Structure formats: structure tokens, C-alpha cells
Amino acid sequence: MAENYTDPSGNTEAFRAFVDTEAAPAEAASRTGLIIGAAVVAAVLLALATWLAFG
């Protein structure tokens, strides 16, 4: 560990500052890629089924 590391539980003020820090909220992942991927897979499966049925 670094020598200048201060344990936040070492004193009350540092611990309160450590606890009160808010973490940035995680951004929701965009589902656009998932939707496009599912549509491509569905189109490929439909084309394969059509080719097998009429080919």
C-alpha cells in the first residue's frame, strides 16, 4: 500500500466523509444494439427456414 493512504475508519470525520461520498449512478445500457441484433438473427432464421422449405 502507499504510505500516504489514510484509512477512512481511522477517525470519525474521515469515515463520515467516506460514507457520504455519492458514487456516480451507472448509466443504463442502451438496448438498441440488442434489438438490432435480435432483428438480424430473426431475419436470418426466417430466410433459412424459407430456403429450406422452398429450396
Domains of the chain by residue range: 30-55
Please, are residues 15 and 9 in contact by the beta-carbon 8 Å criterion? yes
DSSP string of 1-19, one letter each residue:
--TT---GGGSHHHHHHHH
Give the model's pLDDT for residue 7: 66
The proportion of the chain whose per-residue pLDDT surpasses 90, expressed as a percent, equals 35
How far apart CA 15 and CA 9 sit, in angstroms, is 5
Please, are residues 44 and 50 in contact by the beta-carbon 8 Å criterion? no
Q: Is 39 helix (H, G, I), strand (E, B) or coil?
A: helix
pLDDT in tens, 14-34: 777 777 776 655 555 678 888
This prediction has a pTM of 0.47
Please, are residues 15 and 8 in contact by the beta-carbon 8 Å criterion? yes
Give the model's pLDDT for residue 9: 62
